[in-house]
Amino acid sequence: MTLEEVQKKLESGIEQSEVTMEGDGCNCSAVIVSPLFEGLSLLQRQRAVLAVVKEEIKSGELHALSVKTFTPEER
């Protein structure tokens, strides 16, 4: 899975998000900014992001994803 594919999947799965990716296709990190994270704990934010790519992680297509999440105000 390429970085672009992961980015598109995250952007389509998390409304109003801005996603920045680093790394290679199977081991990557994402910085995600979305107003949907407002009022959520860090754990809730992580779970919301990982739910979007759950199948890719389960299949091994995406090996590891490190996530940092922010609201637009936190940026």
Cα gap 66→48, rounded to integer Å? 13
The domain of 7 spans 3-70
Confidence (pTM): 0.90
**75 in a structural domain:** no
- The H or E element containing residue 17 is none
Per residue in 48-60, pLDDT (tens digit) is 999 999 999 899 8
Structural domain contains residue 27: yes
- State the pLDDT at residue 1: 81
Q: Residue 33 domain-assigned? A: yes
CATH number assigned to the domain comprising residue 11: 3.30.300.90
Tokens of 56: 């890719």
Q: What is the pLDDT of residue 63?
A: 83
Alpha helices, H only, the chain = 3-13, 42-52, 54-59
In the chain, the number of structural domains is: 1
Any domain includes 39: yes
What tokens does 38 get? 């407002």
Q: What is the pLDDT of residues 4-48, one digit of tens each?
A: 999 999 999 999 999 999 987 667 899 999 999 999 999 999 999
Domain-embedded: residue 38? yes
CA 44 from chain center: how many Å? 12
